[in-house]
Structures are given as C-alpha cells and as structure tokens.
Structure 1
Amino acid sequence: MKKWPLVAAAAVPAVHLIRRLGSPALPPPAALPPSVPIPEATPPADMDLVAVPTGVNNRVAAYAYSGGSLFDRRDFYIGAALIKHPQGDLLVDSGFGRDIAKQFATMPRLFQKLTKYEVWKPAVEQLEAAGYDFGRLSGILLTHAHWDHMSGITDFPDLPVLISARDHAAFYNPEMFGNFRGYFQDTPFNWQEFGFEGGPYLGFPRHHDVYGDGSIVCVPAPGHTPGSVIVFVTLPNQVRYALVGDLVWQREGLTRRLERPFLIRRLGDFDAEGNRQNILRMAAVMQRIPDLIVVPAHDQRAFAEMSQLPNVTTRGLTLTPNL
C-alpha cells in the first residue's frame, strides 16, 4: 500500500505551491452508450434526504480544484446526510462528533497546525433537538474512512457502521493516513462490511443496492481512499442525488472536470489515477442524467439543496426544514 505523508487531504500547504502545481481540465468523457440504462428505482413514499451540517473547514477554491482562486473562500461542509427510509434510516458519514477536540489532538502536530476547523453542532445533538426517533436509525454508511467523515461515530455506540471491505482493511493499515487510528484503536466499532454483488450501474462496474428497491445504491469509486464509494439516492419524486464523497471537494471538480491541484493530489489521494477515472465516469453520468444533483461531501452549495432538521440553527446554509 502507498505510504501516505504527514500532510494529507485536510492540511493546507503553501498557497503559492497550490497555484503553481495545478493541472488543466480533464478531457470530456466518452458518452455512456445507449445500452447503459438509467436504473429503475421504486423509493417508498415517505423517503427523504436531509442535510445534517456539523461544522466547516476553512478553505479557499485554490485548495479544492486546479485553477481555483486564492481569494474565493470556500468553507468546506463537514457533516452528514440523513436518508429516511422505512426499512431503516441511514446517516451517510457522521461529520464532527462530541469528542472532535480530543480526537483531533491525536493527529500529527503538523496536521493540527495546518488544519483549521469550526464545530457547529454534532449530528447526535441535532437529531435530539429535532425530536428524532433514534429507533429509526439503522446505521452509518461511510463514503470513506477519513477523520472528518467519521468523528461522530462514537456518539452512536453500537450502531452498525457500513463500510466497503477495502476501506475497512485500510483503516487498520499503519500506512493509511487521514483517520483517528490513535484515538479509535481501542474502540469496538460495529463494522458491517458490504460488497458489490450487483452488476454494472451507470458505467460503474458493480453496485450494492442497500434495500433492494433501487433507492439507495452504492458503487465502488476507489482513488481518494482504497475503498471510497459513491451513494446514489432516488427520492419518491424521482429526484436523483449522487453523494460522491471526496471524489471531488467542490462541484467544479465535476462540472469543469478539474482535479485537485497536483500537490494536494499527491498528498491526499491514495490513487490519483483511479480517482481521475472515476471523475470521468461521474461526468458521463451527469451528461446522461442532466438533472442529477451531485453532492461532494464538502460543498455547502450541494447540501443547501436538501431538507434540514427542524429546530436546528446552521450558519452559512439556507435549508428547508423537513423531517
């Protein structure tokens, strides 16, 4: 496995290097052939997708994608998305948890020095404030096992943590960077690995249909981490979302096919070439489904197109309360 340096995806290198080591846009992807159908889905009538913002990392566009401006502030969303489904609600990622300060203190000192974050309210406290029935919650589905996606897991003891087999293995590899292994090493997570038993899905080689109705479908998208996944969600009104995790950090990564700057890719991506191929796969999907709502895990604009928990105050996000 590739050895990861101490400064990874969430650290902020010298901004002049970010600009100098950029890269041009990727070429247009090959169109999906007509033989690749738009998958059918039969989501239940009361299904919904709700943003659960827990805080931000302070960034600029130049950090997020090649050619981005140093003066364009982009506070990266850190949080979760709650999928309401009668067979069991799922949190996609968990955002910052109650113990984020203690967790973060176990990270390398250079990482701590170069990473600035702001906590709003952990997901568990937002759900409590909203009067949420925790008996509905069946698991936390990780797009990948990095610190800013799984800090809040410890706030939900014994809750199943759904993870791809490759990221589960990578989490315990000493050469894998970007998680709280020093803090989590003695934590008995209720890991539940999932595979990809289904065939091709929108140009991706395999898929996992969580509830068998096509409403929540995971596809493998390795690159940022060995076992990163993309989660496709289809709501009852046939509005389709793609929760792409850290495939890109901002929408421009897909709408303009702009990778992370070279230095950031070098430090933050496990397999930059694999990530590049998955960017092109998703760009082809966006061509086939023009109204697909693409949700990079750290783009506040994307989460603003979801519902919000009631009785929760957020900063910087204008959302529609609904639970």
Structure 2
Amino acid sequence: MKKLIGLSLLFTACASLPPAGPHAFAPPPPPSTPLQVCWIDTGGLTTPGGYGAGGSTVAATWEVTSAALVIRHPEGDLVLDTGISLQAQEEQRELGAWKRFIFSQTAGRNVPRRNLKDALTALGVTRPKALLLSHVHADHAGGVASLPDVPVWLAAEEKQLIEAELAHPRGVALPAQARALEGRMVPIPFVAEPYANYESRFDIFGDGSVVVVPTFGHTPGSVATFVNVSPSLRFVHVGDLINLRESIERNVGKSWLMRQLTDEDLSRTQAEVAKLVQLHARDPELLILPAHDRRAFVELFGADDGGVPPCIGEPKRSGPG
C-alpha cells in the first residue's frame, strides 16, 4: 500500500485543476420546508491522506465513512445512498480477478460499523419514500437489498449502466447489488432549469429543500444532491467526485491512484470537480460534503456514539415514514 501511495503522490505533485468554464450562477431560492437529516455510518477505515486527494495533502490520514443519509421531510423519508453491505466480502466473490483486486483496494477495505436497517429502525423510519443513489458503486448501493420494496431513484444513465451489468457483467457494480436493483429503478426526471452553476436539476419535493443535479463522470450517471436543511444550514452531497473536502480549497482532484481505480471517465470527473471549486467560490456558505470524508460528517452532524444515529435540523411534523 505504501508503494501505491508513493506512486500516487509522484503523479499528482502538480495536480491543480484547470478552471471551470464561465457559467452563469442561478442563486438557489431559500428553502421553505425545514428538514431533519441523519447520518448512518455503515462502515469505514483509516488510510494515509495521500490516498484521498492529489498532491501533498493537509490531512495526514483520510478517515473514511461509507454513509447513508436519512432526509426527513413532511412528505416522507428519503435515504440518500445506502452505504456498504455487511455481506460485501461474500458478494465480491462473483467478480473477476482484476475487479476483486480493485474492490480490495477501495470499497472492500471498509470495516462494517452499522446495519442500515437497524439504524433506520432506531430513527423510527419504517418505510422510506425512496432510496436515492449518488451512484451504484458497492459502498453506496450496499444497503439496497435490505430495503427490497422501496423504489430506487438514480440517473437514467446509471439505470442503463445497471441494465448493461445485468446483461454482461463488468464489475462496475457488484452483481448481487445489480440484481437487487432490477425492476426497482426510477430514472431521475431532470429538467433543463439552472440551479447554482448547473444547467439542469430535479427538485424532489418541489419546495427547494432537496435538489439533485447531474455530475456525470465518476460513473455514467453520478449525481450530486443539494440539501437545504434551513436558510442558514445548507450542504451539497457530491458523491465520489472528491474524497477529502480539502480538495476544494487546494483546487485538486482525488489522488491519481483513486482516479485510476474508480473513475469511469477521468477527464469528465476532473471537469466536474472544477465546477465544485467554482461553486464554492460563488457560494462559500454552502458546505461541500464528499461522500467518504468522515471528518466532514463529524463536523456537520457531531460524533457518532453508537446509539441513535446523529441528526441535524428539525424533526418532521407530519407525513408517512
């Protein structure tokens, strides 16, 4: 592993991103519905900081979470990503040798921490309105099988990826998880209306509280999700576009090694990271939340003491779930 980290640092010593192209900025309207959002830390690990971001990292270590977020809205509960499966080590045995190696260096290194279904029960979530996936990698789609009757929202391009995996597996998704998605996938109906510095969006509840934008590159249908907890507390969950929040301040992408092992389209992913840098410059009060930066989650939600998962915002006032 140390040799791999050294190789990654060598290739990313001068890793600054080119700037994103000029883009109009459409200020998001103030949210009208208070939310409660809870963090379920399904698994993780600690690894050298150079594994997470390009160049010379500020963080000596990268504290990893593979997380699910529960977004509690009066119209229902939404689960954003589902973390790592407790059966991931068994599920990876269906992969070919090369994909098993990649899995062993990425999602497969997670140590399980929480059972998604048990954590939802602790929060009082009986039936989510939907599952929303930032993308279909194993440490994001791992809990799909544990909620078999819940629809799964994902970009149409990501749905097509799973359909291709079911027909001719390449190992982009774990086969067991692809099968768990079959027949349940609902394409996100993006509309061509600007939001922040993005050209299209999908407002899930129609009130500006949770808005999804396409950020294709890491996988063909990766998305980012703006979560507006209150006018003064807003964040955007950016999936695996970056691994450490310091990438935004330092204007770098992920480490060379993580890009090579996990990004389906390297150049397109880097362009999307440049858009995040641009977004941060235009809206510095918006918190950018990488899906695997545990320190960023602790800063936002507080420490996870192993009891009821930590939450921010106001409990929902009515509705199913």
Name the TM tier (shorter chain): 0.7 to 0.9
Q: 1:252 and 2:246 equivalent? A: yes
Residue in structure 2 matched with residue 146 of structure 1 by the alignment: 137
**Distance of 1:52 and 1:183 partners within structure 2:** 19
Q: Measure the CA separation in 2 of the matches of 1:12 and 1:158.
A: 43
Shift of 1:106: 3.0
Which aligned segments of 4 or more residues in structure 1 are displaced greater than 6 angstroms? Answer: 308-311, 317-322
Alignment of 1:179 with 2:187, yes or no, is no
Secondary structure of the corresponding residue to residue 131 of structure 2: strand
Match of 2:126 in 1: 134
Which 10-residue stretch deviates more, 205-214 or 262-271?
Answer: 262-271
Q: CA deviation at 1:265?
A: 2.0
Correspondence for 2:30: 41
Matches within 5 A, 1:256-275: 256-275=250-269
C-alpha distance in structure 2 between counterparts of 1:320 and 1:191, whole Å = 29
Q: Does structure 2 retain, via aligned residues, the 8 Å contact 1:79–1:93?
A: yes
Mapping 1:168-317, distance limit 5 Å = 168-173=159-164, 174=168, 176-182=170-176, 184-185=178-179, 188-307=182-301, 312-313=306-307
Amino acid at match of 2:184: N
Q: Does residue 9 of structure 2 align to residue 19 of structure 1?
A: yes
Structure 1 pair 13–117 and aligned structure 2 pair: CA distance change class (3 A): farther
Aligned match of 2:117: 124
- The residue type paired with residue 94 of structure 1 is T
Counterpart of 2:160, as a letter, is A
Q: Is the 8 A contact 2:52 2:254 kept in 1?
A: yes
Equivalent residues of 1:307, 1:321 under 8 A apart: no
Q: Which structure shows the higher helix fraction?
A: 2
Task: Give the Cα–Cα distance (whole angstroms) in 1 for the partners of residues 21 and 197 of structure 2.
Answer: 10
Instruction: Using structure 1 for the length normalisation, give the TM-score.
Output: 0.84
Q: Output the amino acid matched with 1:268.
A: T
Question: Which of 69, 77, 92 lines up with 1:104 in the alignment?
Answer: 92
Q: TM-score, normalised by structure 2?
A: 0.84
Aligned-residue offset at 1:318: 8.5
Does the aligned pair in 2 maintain the 1:52–1:308 contact within 8 Å? no
Unaligned runs of 5+ in 2: 316-321
Q: How many residues end up aligned between the 2 structures?
A: 306
Taking structure 1 as reference, are residues 309 and 194 closer, same or farther at Cα in structure 2, changes over 3 Å only?
farther
Q: Give the Cα–Cα distance (whole angstroms) in 1 for the partners of residues 305 and 70 of structure 2.
A: 16
Following the alignment from structure 2 to structure 1, what is the Cα–Cα distance between the partners of residues 59 and 202?
A: 41
Which of 57, 62, 68 pairs up with 1:74?
62
**Does the Cα contact within 8 Å between 1:129 and 1:311 map onto a contact in 2?**
no
Shift of 1:158: 1.0
Give the match for residue 319 of structure 2: none
Compute the displacement of 1:73 (Å): 2.1
Deviations 1:101-138 (A, max 9, x none): 322333444235444220011221112234x1314x21
| Unaligned residue ranges in structure 1 (runs of 5+) | 1-10
SS at match of 2:142: helix
Q: Provide the C-alpha distance between the structure 1 equivalents of 2:201 and 2:231, rounded to a whole number of angstroms.
A: 23
Q: CA deviation at 1:50?
A: 1.4
Q: What is the Cα-based RMSD across aligned positions, in Å? A: 2.9
Counterpart of 1:7 in structure 2 is none
Query: Cα gap change, 1:41/1:301 in structure 2, threshold over 3 Å: closer, same or farther?
Result: same
Deviations 1:39-96 (A, max 9, x none): 1033323x12211111104422111111245992213110111111111111110002
Q: Percent of aligned pairs with the same residue?
A: 25
CA contact (8 A) 1:65 1:253 kept: yes
Any idea what SS the aligned residue of 1:260 has? coil
Alignment partners' CA distance in 2, 1:238 and 1:285? 17
SS of the aligned residue for 2:187 comes to strand
- Using the TM superposition, give the Cα deviation of residue 187 of structure 1 relative to its aligned residue in structure 2, in angstroms: 6.0
Could you tell me which amino acid in structure 1 is paired with residue 121 of structure 2?
A: E
Distance 1:222 1:181, change over 3 A: same
